[in-house]
Amino acid sequence: MVQYEISVERLGSLTAYDECEEAIQLSTLWQKGTAVLVFVRHFG
C-alpha cells in the first residue's frame, strides 16, 4: 500500500466542484467550521 503525506494547506489549495458544478477551492469548505471530506472513486 502506498502512503502519501499531504498538509491541510496543500489540500485546501485544490479545486473541486460543488453540487451546482461550480469550481470551489476546498479550503472554503472549512473556513466557517469543521468539514468532512469523502472521496469516492468511480469505476467503470
| pLDDT tens digits along 11-32 | 889 998 888 999 999 999 889 8
Exposure string of 2-20, with b = 16+ CB inside 10 Å and e = fewer, is eeeeeeeeeeeeeeeeeee
Percent of the chain at pLDDT exceeding 90? 23
Give the pLDDT score at 3.
Answer: 84
pLDDT at 38 over 90: no
